[in-house]
Amino acid sequence: MTAARDRGTRAGKELDRIVNFSDGVFAIVITLLILTIQVPDIPAASAAQELPGRLLELAPKFLSYVISFLVVAVYWMAHHRVFRPMRGCDRTLLWLNFLFLMTISFLPFPTSLLGEYGDQQLPVVIYAANFSVASLLLATISWYATNGHRLTDPEQDEREAKLHLIQGLAVPAVFLISIAISFFSVNAAMYSWLLLLITDPLLRRIRSR
């Protein structure tokens, strides 16, 4: 009995550690993003006239910074939602989570690429592809953990798990659609990502009917 509880406590501790580790990666990535924007280098003599213009030129970089910041926030919440019902972890979960974290910690590169060449199609496709993979991995994690209550409480509501799965698949759907859009208009593709901010409340409303 005590051994079982001990094992339970240990499994919970392991899970806490992987969740904390993931939160650390999220916090570092979200904070490193600003390093993708460099302060313009202007000679002191002409700083007064040139500075406003040079800062305005950075607008696409600020835009890609803000997009990436919000996207990380969306994924932090999704990760949160997926791990909340879990009661334990195993080797497969650890590896799936590490692969997911790789797509998150990779973010400063596509963000920088988008800020530099946001008018090109390739950076938009790379950005969207990276997050499609991220969402597919997160959906896999959710499926793996809840399937047959492998790592979740038996009392856990299965409908909740299914909602997570649909939510998890809605994100790559948005990104894949945006790749299609990017063939017509690169800007429209980027703005379509804003749909991500509303898919969640939307799905929530649909379910509660």
Angle subtended at Cα 83 by Cα 166 and Cα 200, rounded to the nearest 5 degrees: 35
Residues 119-158 that bind a second copy (CB under 8 A): 120, 122-123
- Interacting residue with a second copy among 7, 8, 9, 17 (CB under 8 A): 17
First to last CA, the chain: 43
Please give the DSSP secondary-structure letter assigned to residue 87.
-
With contacts defined by CB under 8 A, name the span among 89-97, 129-137, 161-169, 177-185 that binds a second copy: 89-97
- Amino acid identity of residue 132, one-letter, is S
Angle subtended at Cα 136 by Cα 132 and Cα 142, rounded to the nearest 5 degrees: 145
Answer yes or no whether residue 108 interacts with a second copy by CB under 8 A. Answer: yes
- How far is the C-alpha of 147 from the C-alpha of 110, rounded, in Å? 33
Site track 24-43 with a second copy (rule: CB under 8 A), x = hit: xxxxxxxxxxxx-x-x--x-
Q: Are 176 and 133 in contact (CB under 8 A)?
A: no
Rounded-to-10 torsion of CA 37, 39, 41, 42: 130
With contacts defined by CB under 8 A, name the span among 105-113, 142-150, 163-171, 176-184 that binds a second copy: 105-113
- Interacting residue with a second copy among 66, 188, 194, 206 (CB under 8 A): 66
Contacts to a second copy by CB under 8 A? 10, 14, 17, 19-21, 23-35, 37, 39, 42, 47-48, 51-52, 55, 65-66, 69-70, 73, 76-77, 80, 84, 91, 94-95, 98, 101-102, 105-109, 112-113, 116-117, 120, 122-123
